[in-house]
Chains A and B, each alone.
Chain A
Amino acid sequence: MVHVDGRGLSSSLIQVRGIDKRYRRGGEEIHVLQGLNLDVDQGEFVAFMGPSGSGKTTLLNLLGGLDVPSAGSITVAGDEITNMSRGRLTEWRARHVGFVFQMYNLIPVLTAFQNVELPLLLTKLSKAERRKHVETALGVVGLSDRMHHFPRQLSGGQEQRVTIARAIVSDPTFLLCDEPTGDLDRKSADEVMSLILQLVKQYKKTVLMVTHDPVVAQRADLTLHLEKGALVEAGALAGGAV
């Protein structure tokens, strides 16, 4: 279940309560998110849509512990992340969050294998164990035969699949995808979306995705719109269970 009225169950995987986010830009204060509430259960696939500047990426950054809200709280799997120090937040991200970005953001001088291995270097896994995990992740995204290729030797769709492999290799609690198909052609975008759906259906992953593309958003279990700093369900009134 997904709630945007702040009345979700305490057992929800992600609980967002009344978060505000304000920026100062050129002396002007911008109030991006205003008392936003969100509850997401394990295994949900939620898409966020909204016009440019509506705060979609800001929301994703807050949920991923990359930024801190001006007010309110975010609790993920029982951990309230809003009061964590920068160091603890970094450790928390390594354990709980898998990121997929629009521009892939692979390290160009590392092979697909080495890129996917990056999160595992922070763990105590042995070299052999890391190899096994990386091979499994690359197998899931269908790139076992490209593991020793550098990003420049891969197509855009393949690069994004490597990014997804990197996001899932450490088996995070949830995935945050920021415009994962924004830089891809339709065919590649379909492949990437099928892969994300597979992660949700087959591996029970929780996925929160920002997109501009209504076709892509339709693949999610639920699409939420960001309007005036709060979330509303597409075609429904804000504040209800969805």
Chain B
Amino acid sequence: MKFRSLVFANLFRKKIRLILTIGSFGVALLLFGFLAVVRTAFGGGIDVAGADRVMVISRSGFIQLLPKAYQERMLRVPGVKAVTYQQWFGGVYKDEKNNFAQFAIDPANQRKVYPELKLPDDQWETFLKDRRGAIVGAELAKRFGFKVGDHIPIKGAIFPGTWDFNIDGIYHGRPHQDDETQFWFQWDYLQERVMEGAKGQVGWYVVRITNPDDVVNVSKAIDKEFANSAYETHSDSEKVFFANWVKQFGNIQFLILSIGGVVFFTLLLVTGNTMAIAVRERTAELAILKAIGYSDRFVMIFVLAESLVIAFIGGALGLAAAKGLTLFGNPVQGVLQVFYLPANAIVVGLLATLAVGAISGLLPALGAMRLRVVDGLRRV
């Protein structure tokens, strides 16, 4: 600790250079933070998908409907605990830009399949009795200021006309894990106004199974049950289903890693050059330190410490800014359902910034370590 003043005094030798270098780290880590937010948003569903849930869609594709009568037959498949169904509604609230996911759901079984999504029982009871009732996620309620008891219109796109709903309840998921931006309403209400050909049909099924280890067998059993019928099914674990869903947007993971890699590599070049200049400028001072008894190793650590401190301060500021911005709310609701910077991304970011700091400081530090006092003093 007694050498702290030596390290910090040197940091402030060139204030503008220090600010710019810290700024480079800060901006890079801010960008890293946002990339991590995007990655979390796309990958979050995969990470927290229920291990005991199977998604069943039409073998022809996601937009093809399935008969509601399949629910009873699925319940008879060994290993199945509960079955619910949902249907995409695709409406907008007041304005085209107010997009959010609306699902017509099966009120009798929704909570059996999604026990992690919580809301007060009295709200749920009201919803069950209210044909025009709706349950909204906490984030969605916050976004539009929805309160229990509100009456809201939704303009249908797939199902034309204006649909009136009563907000009967607000559900909450596990923090930073579950999607709290959904809008649920009764499938029976949807049936009142759908075209004749779509009556008695649902978008997809969500099946909760008894043993998560049986997910493959149960999926196969369900698909076998409906094989060679007019409405064949395709079943997958919820995890696989979400992973395939994310793949539709391209290789997000690769994109993020590529951008992140380029950012860190550029940062490495910039800070490496800065550290090399900083050390070259004070070659004589480093020689003096050695002359009066500071070891080669000390001088190396001294230079490395300087580089690491700059990296840490810049990185911490960048990550703090990224975290701070996510706390102000989700500016792209409707695009990213989950918008937060997870703790593990902060740790990875800090480790990455320290690694860049160490690598960029390593060559100048080794040069300082190898410096001969007599050579250094000649540069005075």
Contacts and interface: CB of A to CB of B under 8 A. Distances in A.
Given A103-B380, A105-B288, A119 B13 contact: no
Interface in A69-122: 86-87, 90-91, 93-95, 99, 101, 103, 105, 107-110, 114, 118-119, 121-122
A6 B44 CA distance: 82
A57 B320 CA distance: 53
A121 B9 contact: no
A118 B2 CA distance: 10
Nearest to B295: A90
Contacts of B285: 105, 107
B374 A67 contact: yes
A122 B293 contact: yes
B114 interface: no
A119 B288 CA distance: 11
Given A107-B285, A127-B2, A166 B374 contact: no
Contacts of A67: 372-374
A136 interface: no
Contact of A87 (B2, B3, B292, B296): B296
A118 B295 contact: no
A66 B291 contact: yes
Nearest to B286: A107
Interface in B285-324: 285, 288-296
Contacts of A166: 292
B31 to A, nearest CB: 32
Given A61-B374, A67-B374, A105-B380, A110 B6 contact: yes
Measured as residues with beta carbon below 8 angstroms from the partner, the interface class of chain B is 20 to 34
B293 A94 contact: yes
A180 interface: no
Contact of A109 (B12, B288, B292, B373): B12
Contact of A101 (B6, B10, B289, B377): B377
Measured as residues with beta carbon below 8 angstroms from the partner, the interface class of chain A is 20 to 34
Given A61-B374, A101-B377, A110 B9 contact: yes
Interface string A126-160: 01000000000000000000000000000000000
A118 B12 contact: no
A64 interface: yes
B290 A118 contact: no
A241 to B, nearest CB: 31
Contact of A114 (B9, B293, B295, B374): B9
A108 B374 contact: no
A64 B293 CA distance: 11
Nearest to A107: B285
B13 A93 contact: no
B251 interface: no
Contact of A93 (B6, B291, B296, B374): B291
B35 interface: no
Contacts of A87: 295-296
Contacts of B6: 107, 110, 114, 118, 121
Contact of A90 (B5, B12, B293, B380): B293
From B2, B3, B9, B292, name the one whose CB has the most chain A CB atoms within 10 angstroms.
Answer: B292
A114 B2 contact: no
Contacts of A121: 2-3, 6
A119 B293 contact: yes
From A61, A66, A86, A95, name the one whose CB has the most chain B CB atoms within 10 angstroms.
Answer: A66
Contacts of A93: 291-293
B284 interface: yes
A114 B301 CA distance: 20
Interface in B328-380: 372-374, 377, 380
From A90, A95, A103, A108, name the one whose CB has the most chain B CB atoms within 10 angstroms.
Answer: A90
Contacts of B10: 109
Contacts of B292: 93-94, 99, 118-119, 166
21 contacts: A66-B377, A67-B374, A87-B296, A90-B290, A90-B296, A91-B293, A91-B295, A93-B291, A101-B377, A103-B380, A105-B285, A105-B288, A107-B9, A107-B285, A110-B5, A110-B9, A118-B292, A119-B293, A121-B6, A122-B293, A127-B2
Interface of B: 2-3, 5-6, 9-10, 12-13, 284-285, 288-296, 372-374, 377, 380
Question: Which A-B residue pairs are the 5 nearest by beta carbons?
Answer: A94-B293, A109-B9, A66-B373, A105-B288, A103-B380
Interface of A: 61, 64, 66-67, 86-87, 90-91, 93-95, 99, 101, 103, 105, 107-110, 114, 118-119, 121-122, 127, 166
Given A67-B374, A114-B6, A118-B289, 11 more contacts: A61-B373, A66-B291, A67-B373, A86-B296, A87-B295, A90-B293, A101-B380, A105-B380, A109-B10, A121-B3, A121-B6
